[in-house]
Structure 1
Amino acid sequence: MQQPNETRTESAPRDRYPDALRALALLVVVFGHWLATLPRLDEGLMVDTDHLLVVWEGAGMLTWVVQVVPLFVFVSAAVSATGVRRRLNDGHRQLHWWAGRALALARPTVTYLAVLVAVALLSRYTGGRFLAPLNHSLTIHLWFLLMLLGVQALLPLSVRADRRLGLRAVGLLVGVAALIDMLRAQPGSLSDLLRLGELATDHATVLGWVNLMVVWLLPQQLGIAWRHGRFAGTGMGLMLIALGLVWLGATVSSGYPLAMVDGEVGGRSNLLPPTLALMGVMWLQVGAVLAFESTARRLLARRSISRVVTLLGALGMPLYLWHKFAELPAAWLGEKLGAPIDAGVPGEPGFWWGRLVWILLCALMVTPVMAAVVAFEMRRRQDVVSATGTRAILAGGVALFSGILASMALGAIPGALIGLLGVAAASRLLRFRPQSC
């Protein structure tokens, strides 16, 4: 999704390859989320939802492709690295830069949460039949905003690490993540080492959450290294793809879960907290970026393709926020049409046809939602000004993180209301210009 304040020279044309990577990743995320949602109907009415990973363990391999959050981090770091490097000795400018990004995410999130609050209030008078089955699904995807802003806050440290250590900074992150998983597993013998993944993910320890930052800093470090030319080329890309496949095979064989996203919270996970296995997806994605770069750049030279990429870049943030909301009207329309949106489980007749119908309904219903949202956001974007006061920026960051966390934890009811208060306060603080720091 498009990020604000990405530095490029005035004379140089915009590099569309990073934009194309983000556009592709965005589409994968959107269609992946729709595919994973399984409406459950009783006498033609939606009463619940399942998650594809819960009903079909084998779908975990699909997440090796659809877990594209590392690609967003990788590309964002690559695009921003040069500008951050120029500001390394100016802490205030760095903080101001981060505030601009946080504000650009906070403002549309306020709109999204405000609409969820309105829908939640309306549902009290309509029985809440559609909202209840999708309650947490409507807010859990906001975790990406927290993770992205968290690692971007450390982007100056990552740039310094690249300048001083080069690719050794990448190796250092891998080593720290491996050490943390080893400490989680506490293997006592060689046979235990062969069960490293099983032992490490048997339960989430406080120590394991250190990897919440360490693992997600890896694609950022790789993006900076790529931007500075530390690795490149089709050959290197193929080597990284091979490394990723071997890495995933070895880690899953040792007991790490097959899936790289979570179907439900509380079970064994590669995401909460992140594990060594998740790094395999990162090698795959970075390898693909290198391996297909030449072909992609030739395609992007075509004006029609470049225009599509530009459009998806402009719609990135709204589409990410609102694509889950479109499941509400899609469920309503599916009921009215008698569409086979509840097709049972994989292996049963009509399951994949039902998935296709559900995705088409979501795509159909997201169109008017996006049109309304974009029209609204366009009218209020011109007065965006990020805060200059350090205290206001820090307070805004705390309010933003707290509001999104509340929304994620509590769902649309009552999380959207609590989250709205925090995110709205953040939007106000990050626009505020105090007299002094």
Structure 2
Amino acid sequence: MSRPDRDPYPDALRACALLVVVLGHWIATLPRLVDGQLVDTDHLLGIWEAAGFLTWVVQVVPLFVFVSAAVSADGVARRLERGEQKQWWAARALGLARPTVTYLAVLVALAAFSLLTGGRLLGVFNQSLTIHLWFLLMLLTVQALLPWCLRLDARFGLGAVAGLVAVAAVFDLIRAGATSLEELRWLGRAVSESPAGIAWLNMLLVWLIPQQLGIAWKRGRFRGVGAGIGLLALGAAWLLLAMGSGYPLAMVGVALAGNNMLPPTLALIGVMWLQAGAVLFFEPLARRLLAGRALGRVIAVLGALGMPLYLWHKLAELPAAWLGEKLGLPIDAGVPGEPGFWLGRAGWIALCLLMVAPVIVLVVRFELRRTRGVPAAEGMAPILAGGVALYVGLAAALVWGVWPGSLLGLAAVAFASWRLRAHQTKA
């Protein structure tokens, strides 16, 4: 249960963002059967171009970063005053590493079982079961820079946000090689057709923008329904201009639908304005609803289940596909526009929910029984070693999938968990 003095609105925003991510991933996965057997999966964006508009709603990672920064700002500021920012990041890193060890260990066990029995389903979902770990890498990085972002806000206010946007725009301009007004007219097309080059720096800069916005919101630099309407209008205009200049429609990192994520482009920033605007616009209504105890309890439960649900929801697709195949359910429902497609999507989501529920129960019970960390010793070296190992482990699983990525990732993340556990302060 959340503390009485805890603001329920940010928690509700994070819970909603989590549910959108989970349902979005399940909707996007299209199992493909041949003669009743699963042989592959499609992505919804690969067969339905208009689904790109859906990503303007379901790409809620900026919202999560925005809210996380707002929630953490005061605590990190106090840590800065005591010179404990390194320990704060170590605690956050450990909070990600510990449950990831469990997840990767299960993937290793599944891979071993599949190799011994000649199982085929794991091969179909190999990359899909680790691709979502990219978010942990990004979150670790931007949170490490949260103290720096707090200093920027204190000195420049909203000017810090404008500065980050301006630098990100410069990198897109360099990538496109745009030097004239005509070339600027088709900036998005040129960016999409050009190698990223120096624009890879936007992998950091663009994700710092919602963090800087979240700090500014927490500090009261913008608020109210009027500001929300203004940001919504800015986001809509931004996206229309971006699409008109040739940026891809979809706001996810899949090459089959263009690419506004690897690295992030100016177009993705339009979604950030929309989400910040929606936070302000719906705040009065949301706070009235959250005044009731029942909804508060639901939000508290979702908040407690956030990390387990994010880590394990993709794994639910594996048993869901197996059960759907065995029962002959319409999990392969063709393409949008064909009879039964959306009914098949609903059935697929129901199977995923059915499979994820017992997994989450088991995972939460296991994690609650694990021994918590001990107080940290002083020194940067242990924290640095744990942090580097955590990055390496997550990257290995992300790049190489369940096999051999999960095995390599497990070794590195387990080492990281040990080092960070031994060198973190109590919350």
TM-score by length of 1: 0.94
Q: Verify: 1:148 aligned to 2:139, yes or no.
A: yes
**What RMSD, in angstroms, separates the aligned Cα atoms of the two structures?**
1.7
**Shift in alpha-carbon separation, 1:41–1:324, aligned structure 2, 3 A:** same
Q: Verify: 1:291 aligned to 2:281, yes or no.
A: yes
Q: Verify: 1:356 aligned to 2:346, yes or no.
A: yes
Q: Which amino acid aligns with 2:91?
A: G
Tell me the distance in 1 between the aligned counterparts of 2:120 and 2:374.
Answer: 37
Aligned to 1:430: 420
Q: Verify: 1:340 aligned to 2:338, yes or no.
A: no
Aligned to 1:5: none
Q: Verify: 1:370 aligned to 2:389, yes or no.
A: no
Aligned to 1:85: 77
Which aligned pairs between 1:233-244 and structure 2 lie closer than 5 A? 233-244=224-235
Q: Which of these residues, 17, 30, 50, is aligned with residue 42 of structure 2?
A: 50
Aligned to 2:311: 321
Aligned to 1:23: 15
Q: Which of these residues, 235, 246, 259, is aligned with residue 250 of structure 2?
A: 259
Alpha-carbon displacement from aligned partner over 1:234-264 (angstroms, at most 9, x marks no partner) = 0110111111111111101111110000234
Q: Is the contact made by 1:120 and 1:128 (CA closer than 8 Å) also made in structure 2?
A: no
Q: Is the contact made by 2:161 and 2:212 (CA closer than 8 Å) also made in structure 1?
A: yes
Secondary structure of the residue aligned to 2:333 is: coil
**Shift in alpha-carbon separation, 1:280–1:39, aligned structure 2, 3 A:** same
Q: Which amino acid aligns with 1:335?
A: E
Tell me the distance in 1 between the aligned counterparts of 2:189 and 2:82.
Answer: 45
Q: Is the contact made by 2:373 and 2:422 (CA closer than 8 Å) also made in structure 1?
A: no
Alpha-carbon displacement from aligned partner over 1:161-185 (angstroms, at most 9, x marks no partner) = 0000011001101100111101111
Which aligned pairs between 1:131-146 and structure 2 lie closer than 5 A? 131-146=122-137
Aligned to 1:193: 184
Q: Is the contact made by 1:203 and 1:268 (CA closer than 8 Å) also made in structure 2?
A: no
Aligned to 2:392: 402
Aligned to 1:380: 370
Q: Give the drift of 1:385.
A: 4.9
Secondary structure of the residue aligned to 1:136 is: coil
Alpha-carbon displacement from aligned partner over 1:19-70 (angstroms, at most 9, x marks no partner) = 0000000000000000000000011111100111111121111000000001
**Shift in alpha-carbon separation, 1:416–1:308, aligned structure 2, 3 A:** same
Q: Is the contact made by 1:185 and 1:200 (CA closer than 8 Å) also made in structure 2?
A: yes
Tell me the distance in 2 between the aligned counterparts of 1:72 and 1:21.
Answer: 8
The number of equivalent residue pairs is 424
Aligned to 1:232: 223
Q: Which amino acid aligns with 1:51?
A: H
Which aligned pairs between 1:51-70 and structure 2 lie closer than 5 A? 51-70=43-62
Tell me the distance in 2 between the aligned counterparts of 1:201 and 1:381.
Answer: 48
Q: Is the contact made by 2:250 and 2:258 (CA closer than 8 Å) also made in structure 1?
A: no
Q: Give the drift of 1:433.
A: 4.4
Q: Which of these residues, 235, 238, 254, is aligned with residue 247 of structure 1?
A: 238
Alpha-carbon displacement from aligned partner over 1:379-401 (angstroms, at most 9, x marks no partner) = 01534655643101001110000
TM-score by length of 2: 0.96
Q: Give the drift of 1:369.
A: 0.7
Tell me the distance in 2 between the aligned counterparts of 1:168 and 1:37.
Answer: 40
Secondary structure of the residue aligned to 1:131 is: helix
Tell me the distance in 1 between the aligned counterparts of 2:375 and 2:6.
Answer: 24
Unaligned runs of 5+ in 2: none
Q: Which amino acid aligns with 1:180?
A: F
Which segments of structure 1 move beyond 6 Å, counting only runs of 4 or more?
none
Q: Verify: 1:14 aligned to 2:6, yes or no.
A: yes
Q: Which of these residues, 148, 152, 157, is aligned with residue 161 of structure 1?
A: 152
Q: Which of these residues, 270, 276, 279, is aligned with residue 269 of structure 2?
A: 279
Q: Verify: 1:105 aligned to 2:96, yes or no.
A: yes
Tell me the distance in 2 between the aligned counterparts of 1:188 and 1:86.
Answer: 46
Q: Which amino acid aligns with 2:55?
A: T
Q: Give the drift of 1:278.
A: 0.4
Secondary structure of the residue aligned to 2:128 is: helix
Q: Which of these residues, 170, 176, 179, is aligned with residue 179 of structure 1?
A: 170
Question: What percentage of residue pairs aligned between the two structures are identical?
Answer: 64
Q: Give the drift of 1:90.
A: 4.3
Q: Is the contact made by 1:202 and 1:268 (CA closer than 8 Å) also made in structure 2?
A: no
Q: Give the drift of 1:192.
A: 1.4
Q: Which amino acid aligns with 1:82?
A: D
Q: Give the drift of 1:335.
A: 1.0
Tell me the distance in 2 between the aligned counterparts of 1:19 and 1:302.
Answer: 15
Tell me the distance in 2 between the aligned counterparts of 1:282 and 1:387.
Answer: 39
Q: Is the contact made by 2:202 and 2:265 (CA closer than 8 Å) also made in structure 1?
A: yes
Secondary structure of the residue aligned to 2:31 is: strand
Secondary structure of the residue aligned to 2:80 is: coil
Q: Is the contact made by 2:224 and 2:281 (CA closer than 8 Å) also made in structure 1?
A: yes
**Shift in alpha-carbon separation, 1:385–1:103, aligned structure 2, 3 A:** farther
Q: Is the contact made by 1:99 and 1:386 (CA closer than 8 Å) also made in structure 2?
A: no
Tell me the distance in 2 between the aligned counterparts of 1:428 and 1:394.
Answer: 13
Q: Give the drift of 1:432.
A: 2.2
